[in-house]
């Protein structure tokens, strides 16, 4: 009876902690993957000497389709600097949706696309500097998380550099809690 009581206690304490660990590991993996794509986009712009654009795409064909970055994206050379995969552009990567239950949303300047010029700077299609924050969330929402590393953010500066911000550092983080 004592053994069963101890086992029940360990499971009661351990299962919720294990769930949080799994959720946090999934978010970290997705954040690192997207960060790697941003690094690839910047390095390809520098290497090829052309503008390279990353746009959100739920259908894997057109830019701008879908709600958020978690639904997928296209990475391509953007010879016309119009933010659309067309004619002479080279498709560098096509990504399908993340595991359901997560959202990756950008604020105003990085909500739809991120574009790097041949000098490696992030620039809007109009030529203005492009900087912004991408927030990665899951079903926990901002206020209910017990993990101090939740939510996770990527901060893009106008020089094209990205830094990671986690949890309590993520000032002003807003999560659209997925259903």
Total tally of structural domains belonging to the chain? 1
- Containing domain of residue 119, as a range? 2-169
Burial 69-86 (b: 16+ CB within 10 A, else e): bbbbbbbbbbeeeebbbe
The CATH number linked to 82 is 3.55.40.10
Give the closest residue to 41 by CA, choosing from 164, 123, 142. Answer: 123
pTM across the whole model: 0.83
Structural contact between residues 23 and 149, judged by C-beta atoms closer than 8 angstroms: no
Write down the pLDDT at residue 179.
44
Structural contact between residues 137 and 177, judged by C-beta atoms closer than 8 angstroms: yes
Write down the pLDDT at residue 170.
55
> Does residue 175 sit within a domain?
no
Phi then psi for residue 18, to 5 deg, are -65, -40
79 is written with which tokens? 């010879």
- Nearest-Å Rg of the Cα atoms of the chain is 19
How would you class 97 by CB atoms within 10 Å of its CB: exposed for 0-12, middle for 13-18, buried for 19 or more? middle
Structural contact between residues 175 and 137, judged by C-beta atoms closer than 8 angstroms: yes
pLDDT per residue over 8-36, tens digit each? 666 667 566 777 778 888 888 999 999 99
> Does residue 10 sit within a domain?
yes
> Does residue 115 sit within a domain?
yes
Write down the pLDDT at residue 145.
47
> Does residue 174 sit within a domain?
no
> Does residue 13 sit within a domain?
yes
Check residue 99 and report its DSSP letter: P
> Does residue 177 sit within a domain?
no
Structural contact between residues 129 and 118, judged by C-beta atoms closer than 8 angstroms: no
How would you class 157 by CB atoms within 10 Å of its CB: exposed for 0-12, middle for 13-18, buried for 19 or more? middle
Write down the pLDDT at residue 171.
54
- Measured CA distances, 18 to 14, 24, 25, 113 (Å): 6, 10, 10, 35
> Does residue 176 sit within a domain?
no
Stretches in the chain below the pLDDT threshold 70: 7-12, 14-16, 141-150, 167-179
**Gap between the Cα atoms of 63 and 60, Å rounded:** 8
């Amino acid at each position: 009876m004592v053994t069963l009581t101890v086992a029940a206690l360990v499971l009661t304490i351990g299962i919720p902690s294990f769930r949080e660990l799994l959720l946090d590991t999934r978010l970290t993996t997705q954040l690192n993957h997207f960060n790697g794509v941003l690094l690839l986009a910047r390095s390809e712009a520098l290497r090829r000497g052309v503008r390279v654009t990353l746009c959100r795409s739920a259908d894997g064909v057109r830019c701008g389709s879908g709600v958020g970055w978690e639904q997928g994206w296209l990475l391509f050379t953007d010879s016309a600097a119009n933010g659309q995969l067309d004619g002479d552009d080279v498709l560098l990567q096509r990504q399908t949706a993340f595991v359901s239950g997560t959202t990756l949303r950008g604020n105003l300047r990085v909500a739809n696309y991120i574009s790097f010029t041949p000098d490696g700077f992030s620039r809007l299609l109009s030529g203005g500097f492009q900087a912004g924050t991408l927030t990665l969330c899951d079903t926990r929402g901002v206020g209910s998380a017990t993990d101090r590393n939740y939510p996770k953010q990527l901060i893009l500066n106008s020089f094209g550099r990205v830094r990671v911000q986690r949890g309590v550092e993520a000032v002003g983080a807003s999560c659209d809690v997925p259903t």
